[in-house]
Structure 1
Amino acid sequence: MSRTVDRCDPGRRAWIAEAIRKVEADANRSADTHLHVFPLPPEWGIDLYLKDESVHPTGSLKHRLARSLFLYALANGWIHEDTTIIEASSGSTAVSEAYFARLVGLPFVAVMPATTSPEKIGLIEFHGGRCHLVDDPSSIYDESHRLAAECGGHFMDQFTYAERATDWRGNNNIAESIFEQLRLERHPEPSWIVVGAGTGGTSATIGRYVRYRRFHTRLAVVDPEGSAFFGSFTDGDPGRTAAGSRIEGIGRPRVEPSFLPTVIDRMVQVPDAASVAAMRWTNEVTGRGVGGSTGTAMWAVAELVAQMRASGEHGSVVTLICDGGERYAGTYGSDAWLSAQGLNIAPYRAALDGFLKTGELTDPLSR
């Protein structure tokens, strides 16, 4: 005689189906993000594009990740109609997850460092989330597990699931979108795509996609000072730790589980002063407000373009506007904050201004 254990709950399945419908309907209402042309001199033969992820409903690249994480958790049966969602986040992911939690009718708690910008805290609360601040950034993981266990909730854990929640083969992921939008450009297959090392999910998705589609595109990943990723990529130690980063959204005090170094062609460590200088420079050149992590990427982009120019290489380069600069008015946009942090961005800004005139990027520290 066979034995059967039946755990089917029609009511719960119906709730999950409706929650998935709501999340997918949100995606269906949303247009793709713009791919803006950055004004490089056309005679250089190099085209630079900025994919503007700040236009998502929650204002950042993390809207894509949050949507994928919710669909992944719902399809796995980890989220139910009475589940509190917990996330460890420095800001933008929490903003987006608060949005999706409210969309499906669930409470949301963001566990984040106490140094997170007030602008991001306000956005999380605007979308119905609650902020749980901790003094030690390295404790956000343990604290998230503790809170989830205490309330019977679900720790979304973006840092573990970012690389597997998104379908890297396509299905409207960010990599597929970039290549489709470049289809009619003079260099439709980019020489480089440049992204930050945050959860590791975006670089894993893009790196896998270009290999799967057999493109020759190379992937450069940028990391701010104080982050663990660059050192780990250099010496191959996945257990490396660091102090953490002042550039919100990228850079971590530990190497996150979603970080996949084997799909990365180059890593670039960028000084914080260079990140802020490049952020402000991009704002002025394009007229679009960008955040600090975009500045980190743009410094590395300038280095890459200068190297392409020096070697006579033509092609295209793509990076992301990860979020808008309005979230950082009191930090990277504030001269008083820079002074308090001991950051002198003037030499880096002068180097970027010179780059746009000559195609060469001088090392400010060599002056």
Structure 2
Amino acid sequence: MTAPDREWARTAITLVEADANRSADTHLLPFPLPGAWGIDLYLKDESSHPTGSLKHRLARSLFLYALCNGWIGPGTPIVEASSGSTAVSEAYFARMLGLEFIAVMPASTSPEKISLIEFQGGKCHLVADPTTVVATARTLAGELGGHFMDQFTYAERATDWRGNNNIAESIYAQLGHERHPVPTWIVVGAGTGGTSATIGRYARYRRFDTQLCVVDPEGSAFWPAYQSRDWTICTGRGSRIEGIGRSRVEPSFQPSVVDRMTQVPDAASLAAMRAGSAVLGRKVGGSTGTNLWGAFGLIAEMRAAGRTGSVVTLICDGGERYADTYYSDEWVAAQGLELAGPAATIQAFLSTGIWPEGA
């Protein structure tokens, strides 16, 4: 890297770090449960980031990682394989640094998602075959002389899991004055696997007794691979729950830091999303519903064992971007999903603390 490029990188790192100083410590919201249970549920609200999702942290870490490795210089086009929140967040940071950003995504991607990326200054490159998205992104970056961010490979190594205001450190700091400051469980989904790796490693590094549960939507490869310990499993289908679930086990997923995995049906994710939104007084996304379903089951298990403590999960993004899908009864019906059963399970749990076996 030449001296002018090195100076540009210093300035770029300063700009990205300034964003972290402004926005990293998101709110930790209590989810009301009966006080007699002796169990507290908290949701880390990642939707309050400037780009509206948990992926803002990932995008910032990926940019810092690439800058410090010398992979990005002035004028380097940035390419990513993403049709969702990661692309929105990476477009934000690329524009901050004056760099071109291109998201490679399936041609079936909704106009709403495309508009969110374009609003942040990004461009969208559509491909007919969704299975070629990663290969196309890598090829396109090479043709442009750009950098392929490759979130699915670098997510777990780009984040400083020992601290430096990562999401795990923030959670424990915010719980410091609560009645159960060390959570019994933290519940997250896996898309890249970066968040679960960060939280699992940090809990072990700090010698906390917290256990990590990863919830996985139907159709994703993470859960069956974890059950069988066969990391070559490929389901050949995508996830309907945006931001989590993958058709293959991605390189960033670190199963050895996961204490339990739970598979969550898509209908249960959406029913919990809607129930959570009603309780919180604001709309949350589908992956938050997946998290809540997993958290409710663990809380019921703690109650049945006579244990008290706290459980923490995430609001991954807001529900506004899903008005035409997850919050549309017509869309839900077209997907063949029936929400009444899981909705009844949730309402019964919130009243009694009981969770049906196998749910």
TM above 0.5: yes
Q: Which runs of 5+ in 1 are unaligned?
A: 1-7
Give the C-alpha shift of residue 330 in structure 1: 0.7
TM-score (norm 1): 0.95
- Asked which structure has the greater CA Rg, the reply is 1
Aligned to 2:320: 326
Aligned to 1:244: 238
Change (3 A) 1:355 1:282: same
1:27 to 17, 20, 32: 20
Deviations for 1:275-314, whole angstroms, at most 9, x for unmatched residues?
0000000000111211000101111111111111111110
Give the C-alpha shift of residue 122 in structure 1: 1.2
Q: Which runs of 5+ in 2 are unaligned?
A: none
Q: Please provide the CA RMSD for this pair.
A: 1.2
Q: Which moved more, 1:354-363 or 1:12-21?
A: 354-363
Equivalent position amino acid for 1:212 in 2: Y
Aligned to 2:296: 302
Equivalent position amino acid for 1:217 in 2: T
Question: Hey, what's the Cα distance between the residues in 1 that align with 2:283 and 2:321?
Answer: 10
- Tell me the secondary structure at the aligned position of residue 332 of structure 1: coil
Contact 1:163 1:258 in 2 (8 A): yes
2:50 to 47, 57, 60: 57
TM-score (norm 2): 0.98
Question: Hey, what's the Cα distance between the residues in 1 that align with 2:104 and 2:357?
Answer: 38
Question: Hey, what's the Cα distance between the residues in 2 that align with 1:363 and 1:271?
Answer: 15
1:68 to 57, 61, 84: 61
1:103 counterpart = 2:109: no
Contact 2:62 2:154 in 1 (8 A): yes
Aligned to 2:260: 266
Deviations for 1:245-293, whole angstroms, at most 9, x for unmatched residues?
1111000011100000000000011000000000000000111211000
Change (3 A) 1:31 1:142: closer
Question: Hey, what's the Cα distance between the residues in 2 that align with 1:363 and 1:289?
Answer: 28
Equivalent position amino acid for 1:302 in 2: F
Question: Hey, what's the Cα distance between the residues in 2 that align with 1:253 and 1:138?
Answer: 9
Aligned to 2:335: 341
Aligned to 1:362: 356
Equivalent position amino acid for 1:164 in 2: R
2:276 to 279, 282, 292: 282
1:216 counterpart = 2:218: no
Contact 2:24 2:57 in 1 (8 A): no
Deviations for 1:148-167, whole angstroms, at most 9, x for unmatched residues?
11111110000000000000
Give the C-alpha shift of residue 364 in structure 1: 9.1
Aligned to 1:5: none
Contact 2:26 2:48 in 1 (8 A): yes
Contact 2:24 2:165 in 1 (8 A): no
1:207 counterpart = 2:229: no
Change (3 A) 1:292 1:115: farther
Question: Hey, what's the Cα distance between the residues in 1 that align with 2:165 and 2:289?
Answer: 26
- Tell me the secondary structure at the aligned position of residue 93 of structure 2: helix
Aligned to 1:173: 166
Aligned sequence identity (%): 70
Question: Hey, what's the Cα distance between the residues in 2 that align with 1:330 and 1:142?
Answer: 30
Q: Which moved more, 1:15-24 or 1:181-190?
A: 15-24
Deviations for 1:289-348, whole angstroms, at most 9, x for unmatched residues?
110001011111111111111111100000000000001111101001011110001100
Report runs of 4+ in structure 1 exceeding 6 Å deviation.
Answer: none
